[in-house]
């Protein structure tokens, strides 16, 4: 019943040992973007070497597209993954136990649905992070494959074929800050906004406005009971408040119900572990 559950994101890797939704152990370290999957797996194996023997299976929630156990990047700017990398097979070989791989945001959606802000009702989860990911629960089922990849949407209001996340997420914020003469990452932008820096508040507002429009589109497409927002940027100071205030011009019939993710950075590992257990019973 104990699962070695790992979240491989565009910026960091979170390794955990989970039993019945409880985190028994954890370790976090950066995802070295240039290294590639063999090295990321080797780094994980190294970090959790002394957990060996205490888990019966491994679950990985990974940024990117997972198709039949194979892993590819949709947006190499979030993380450059070679096409169709045999992730589940390599995990089985490395850790010697049954392996499940699933997209990170879909796993987080399932985690929030089962043990977080979803309250057991159909929901859409959005993570605003290095990229933008998402997951959809309909009639109690998690949609897999490309479903929920809201960061990949190319709305007609975009001025090119670039995915929406390139105009919203952590990468976008850092590049806007650089244009304003500040070589900083997303957390520093939130800190600067708290200190009253106008350039920083403007970047956050631009991103939050696009997330608000995305929530409206999702409501029209799927009409979920709740849209749960998570991710390092989604959960940062005031971001959800910004989104809510952008939406407040709508009348009640059209207004999406927005909720804050409850599992924070653990949503992906909790969801992936739950799916692995469910699959193996």
Q: Which residues bind ligand BMX (CB under 6 A)?
A: 9-10, 63-65, 73-75, 78-79, 103-105, 127, 129-133, 149, 151-152, 165
132 vs 259, beta carbon nearer ligand BMX:
132
CA atoms of 167 and 169, how far apart (whole Å)? 7
**Which of 14, 78, 33 has its CA nearest to residue 271?**
14
Compute the least distance from the CB of residue 229 to ligand BMX, in Å: 13
Cβ(209)–Cβ(202) below 8 Å: no
The whole-angstrom distance between residue 173's C-alpha and the CA centroid of its chain comes to: 17
CA atoms of 168 and 179, how far apart (whole Å)? 15
77 vs 191, beta carbon nearer ligand BMX:
77
Cβ(71)–Cβ(84) below 8 Å: yes
Compute the least distance from the CB of residue 146 to ligand BMX, in Å: 9
Q: Tokens for 98?
A: 């049954």
Compute the least distance from the CB of residue 64 to ligand BMX, in Å: 4
64 vs 256, beta carbon nearer ligand BMX:
64
**Which of 233, 280, 264 has its CA nearest to residue 16?**
264
Q: How far apart are the first and last CA of the chain?
A: 10
65 vs 142, beta carbon nearer ligand BMX:
65
79 vs 177, beta carbon nearer ligand BMX:
79
Compute the least distance from the CB of residue 260 to ligand BMX, in Å: 17
Cβ(50)–Cβ(12) below 8 Å: no
Compute the least distance from the CB of residue 119 to ligand BMX, in Å: 23
């Amino acid at each position: 019943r104990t699962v070695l559950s790992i979240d491989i994101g565009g910026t960091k890797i979170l390794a955990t040992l989970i039993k019945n939704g409880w985190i028994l152990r954890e370790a976090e370290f950066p995802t070295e973007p240039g290294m590639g999957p063999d090295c990321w797996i080797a780094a994980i194996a190294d970090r959790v070497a002394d957990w060996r023997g205490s888990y019966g299976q491994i679950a990985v929630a990974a940024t990117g597209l997972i198709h039949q156990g194979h892993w590819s990047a949709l947006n190499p700017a979030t993380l450059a993954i070679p096409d169709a990398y045999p992730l589940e097979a390599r995990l089985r070989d490395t850790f010697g136990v049954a392996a499940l791989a699933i997209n990170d945001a879909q796993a987080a959606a399932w985690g929030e649905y089962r043990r977080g802000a979803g309250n057991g009702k159909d929901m859409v989860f959005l993570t605003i992070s290095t990229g933008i990911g998402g997951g959809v629960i309909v009639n109690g089922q998690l949609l897999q494959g490309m479903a929920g990849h809201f960061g990949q949407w190319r709305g007609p209001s975009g001025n090119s074929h670039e995915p929406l996340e390139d105009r919203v997420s952590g990468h976008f914020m850092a590049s806007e800050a650089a244009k304003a003469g500040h070589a900083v990452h997303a957390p520093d932008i939130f800190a600067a906004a708290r200190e009253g820096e106008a350039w920083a508040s403007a970047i956050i507002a631009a991103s939050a406005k696009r997330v608000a429009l995305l929530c409206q589109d999702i409501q029209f497409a799927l009409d979920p009971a709740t849209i749960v927002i998570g991710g390092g940027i989604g959960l940062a100071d005031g971001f959800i408040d910004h989104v809510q205030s952008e939406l407040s011009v709508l009348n009640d019939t059209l207004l999406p119900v927005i909720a804050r993710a409850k599992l924070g950075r653990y949503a992906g590992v909790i969801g992936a572990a739950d799916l692995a257990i469910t699959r193996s019973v």
